[in-house]
């Protein structure tokens, strides 16, 4: 059905059938999550044909457009918001957070300025305080709400780049890096790919970073860091990690902060999911010294279970974050207010009210609920590891948080090939989905327990499906 302004078939203000239709599709999808196959049921090419064809000359009604999108996309949806998706590190959406995200869309606020949405600016101010408290970070730090940990790493390192160059009298925002004193960048061997992408965007080069040796769980070794820093003169950035994607291990931050600061370096912590362990009293010890860093990056769309996309960049010295991102131009004069202008802390200028789903997630959980969510996922990770170990599977990591790394071996034969075959059998079978990966030059399967709705029953069903895949693949060999 096509429409023109004069021929709308319904009362725009009273009915809004397209919203109802979208809500119905959303509910149907959410209801399907516990039972549907976890992997997508259609290929890229099939989806391309279903969604594609020439752009229609005349537009559809809003309902017809929603219907076309929903029916075309449905077979290609991954149940990554569901309870048995253990791939990468991907959280689901808490009910309150998903509902708040709908409201955010309906409100359609430009969250860049206090002038364009005081509601966004104020909610950011409130949530910033809550997040710092939950994560055990300094109350005076500044906070920017970005799209994910990729941009949070970029923002933290941008603030660091400003600070270390400013100490030598160089204004990198004004002068750029051409002619600037060289900036040393020091990372653990296990630094995340997004840290390298951030270095590329910052003009610091991903290939120039010095790599520091790690221990058997992937934690940066403070003695190796000290040795590397002794060879570095001048402005220096160090990036540590809280939560290795393979093992869940957290760098020894207390010692790293001591070493980094003794050498006058800026310390950034990539804590996409691991920083949330600070919300759990029993796990806080893993993060001892975290508050001594200069900047921190984390995700809300992983362990806090808000819908994509949502990351948080936190900087101990607000001046450094503001120096990196302050936006001032004549047309922005109304922004010169005492209140927070959200875009002064982020690379983006215009942006959605990304903070609202975080607000809803936090108030729906409360302090205790955040701790319980993190703790429950860790307990389920230990449960899966124990059940797999009992079934003869080799667990490669110390299961300290929510990540479980396993490898499948036969009495004789190529364990890499066997592991790959078991991983693809698990992924095809559909009870669960987990990522194949390489750890220390060995093929492995990585499970990340990051979803609020994953139960012990889901854990047992998933472990049993893995053990069955091992058995079936072994029989084939």
Ligand X SMILES: *Cc1c(COP(=O)(O)O)cnc(C)c1O
Q: Which of residues 25-64 bind ligand X (CB under 6 A)?
A: none
Residue nearer to ligand X on the CB measure, 101 or 299: 299
Order of all β-strands in the sheet with 142-146: 142-146, 311-315, 295-299, 266-270, 236-241, 184-188, 210-212
Whose tokens are 């290795």? That residue is 244
Residue nearer to ligand X on the CB measure, 273 or 418: 273
Least separation in angstroms between residue 206's CB and ligand X is 14
Task: Tell me the number of residues near ligand X by CB under 6 A.
Answer: 14
x/- letters, 176..195, toward ligand X (CB under 6 A): ----------------x-x-
Q: Which among 122-130, 268-276, 402-410, 428-436 is the span making contact with ligand X, rule CB under 6 A?
A: 268-276
If one asks whether residue 149 binds ligand X (CB under 6 A), the answer comes out as yes
Closest alpha carbon to 293 in 238, 219, 247, 217: 238
Q: Figure out which of the listed residues 74, 270, 443, 458 binds ligand X, where binding follows CB under 6 A.
A: 270
Least separation in angstroms between residue 303's CB and ligand X is 10
Q: Which among 79-87, 144-152, 219-227, 248-256 is the span making contact with ligand X, rule CB under 6 A?
A: 144-152
Q: Figure out which of the listed residues 92, 148, 188, 218 binds ligand X, where binding follows CB under 6 A.
A: 148
Q: Figure out which of the listed residues 251, 299, 341, 344 binds ligand X, where binding follows CB under 6 A.
A: 299
Question: Across the chain, how many H-helices and E-strands are there?
Answer: 14, 11
If one asks whether residue 443 binds ligand X (CB under 6 A), the answer comes out as no
For residue 20, the SS3 value is helix
If one asks whether residue 245 binds ligand X (CB under 6 A), the answer comes out as yes
Q: Which among 6-14, 146-154, 247-255, 340-348 is the span making contact with ligand X, rule CB under 6 A?
A: 146-154
Contact indicator for 243, 269 with CB cutoff of 8 Å:
no
Compute CA 419 distance to the chain's CA centroid, rounded to the nearest angstrom.
Answer: 27
Least separation in angstroms between residue 85's CB and ligand X is 15
Order of all β-strands in the sheet with 394-395: 394-395, 403-407, 442-448, 435-439
Q: How many CA atoms lie within 13 A of 35 on its CB side?
A: 4
Q: Which among 69-77, 155-163, 222-230, 240-248 is the span making contact with ligand X, rule CB under 6 A?
A: 240-248
Least separation in angstroms between residue 150's CB and ligand X is 3
If one asks whether residue 150 binds ligand X (CB under 6 A), the answer comes out as yes
Compute CA 68 distance to the chain's CA centroid, rounded to the nearest angstrom.
Answer: 30
Among all residues, whose Cβ is closest to ligand X?
A: 148
117 backbone dihedrals φ, ψ, rounded to 5°: -165, 90
**Per-position b or e across 57-78, b if 16+ CB within 10 A of its CB:** eeeebbbbebbeebebbbebbb
Residue nearer to ligand X on the CB measure, 111 or 243: 243
Residue 122 makes CB contacts below 8 A (sequence gap 6+) with 339, 340
Residue nearer to ligand X on the CB measure, 172 or 204: 204
Sheet strands (E) in 206-256: 210-212, 236-241
If one asks whether residue 473 binds ligand X (CB under 6 A), the answer comes out as no
Residue 164 makes CB contacts below 8 A (sequence gap 6+) with 183, 235, 236, 237, 265, 266
Q: What is d(CA 62, CA 44) in angstroms, rounded to the nearest whole number?
A: 25
Residue nearer to ligand X on the CB measure, 154 or 418: 154
DSSP 336: -
Q: What is d(CA 469, CA 430) in angstroms, rounded to the nearest whole number?
A: 11
Q: Figure out which of the listed residues 62, 83, 243, 357 binds ligand X, where binding follows CB under 6 A.
A: 243
Q: Which among 142-150, 278-286, 319-327, 332-340 is the span making contact with ligand X, rule CB under 6 A?
A: 142-150
Q: Figure out which of the listed residues 86, 154, 170, 273 binds ligand X, where binding follows CB under 6 A.
A: 273
Least separation in angstroms between residue 189's CB and ligand X is 14
Q: What residues line the site for ligand X (CB under 6 A)?
A: 89, 148-150, 192, 194, 241, 243, 245, 270, 272-273, 299, 311
């Amino acid at each position: 059905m096509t429409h023109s302004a004069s021929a709308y078939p319904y009362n725009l203000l009273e009915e809004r059938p397209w919203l109802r239709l979208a809500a119905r599709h959303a509910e149907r999808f959410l209801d399907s999550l516990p039972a549907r196959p976890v992997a997508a049921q259609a290929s890229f090419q099939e989806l391309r044909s279903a969604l594609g064809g020439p752009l229609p000359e005349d537009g559809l009604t809003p309902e017809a457009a929603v219907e076309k999108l929903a029916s075309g996309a449905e077979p290609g949806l991954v149940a990554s918001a569901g309870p048995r998706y253990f791939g990468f590190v991907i959280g689901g959406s808490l009910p309150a957070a998903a509902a708040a995200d709908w409201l955010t869309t309906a409100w359609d606020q430009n969250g860049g300025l206090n002038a364009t949405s005081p509601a966004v600016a104020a909610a950011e101010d409130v949530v910033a305080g809550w997040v710092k408290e939950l994560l055990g970070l300094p109350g005076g730090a500044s906070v920017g709400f970005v799209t994910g940990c990729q941009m949070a790493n970029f923002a933290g390192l941008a603030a660091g780049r400003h600070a270390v160059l400013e100490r030598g009298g160089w204004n990198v925002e004004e002068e750029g890096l051409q002619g600037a004193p060289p900036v040393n960048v020091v990372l653990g061997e296990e630094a995340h790919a997004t840290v390298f992408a951030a270095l590329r965007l910052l003009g610091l080069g991903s290939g120039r970073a010095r790599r520091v040796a790690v221990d058997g769980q992937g934690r940066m070794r403070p003695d190796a860091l000290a040795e590397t820093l002794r060879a570095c003169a001048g402005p220096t950035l160090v990036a540590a990690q809280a939560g290795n994607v393979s093992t869940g291990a957290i760098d020894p931050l207390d010692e790293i902060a001591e070493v980094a600061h003794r050498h006058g370096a800026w310390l950034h912590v990539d804590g996409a999911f691991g920083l949330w362990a600070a919300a759990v009293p029993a796990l806080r010890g893993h993060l001892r010294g975290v508050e001594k860093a200069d900047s921190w990056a984390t995700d809300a769309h992983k362990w806090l279970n808000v819908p994509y996309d949502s990351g948080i960049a936190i900087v101990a010295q607000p001046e450094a974050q503001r120096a990196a991102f302050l936006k001032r131009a004549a047309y922005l004069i109304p922004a010169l207010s005492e209140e927070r202008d959200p875009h002064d802390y982020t690379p983006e200028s215009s942006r959605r009210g990304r903070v609202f789903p975080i607000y809803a997630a936090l108030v729906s959980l409360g302090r205790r609920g955040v701790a319980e969510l993190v703790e429950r996922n860790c307990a389920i990770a230990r449960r899966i590891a124990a059940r797999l170990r009992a079934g003869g599977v080799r667990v490669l990591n110390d299961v300290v948080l929510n990540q479980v790394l396993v490898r499948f071996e036969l009495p004789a034969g190529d364990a890499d090939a066997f592991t790959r075959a078991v991983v693809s059998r698990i992924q095809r079978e559909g009870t669960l989905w987990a990522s194949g990966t390489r750890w220390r030059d060995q093929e492995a399967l990585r499970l990340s327990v990051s979803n609020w709705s994953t139960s012990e029953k889901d854990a047992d069903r998933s472990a049993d499906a893995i053990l069955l895949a091992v058995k079936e693949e072994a029989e084939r060999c």
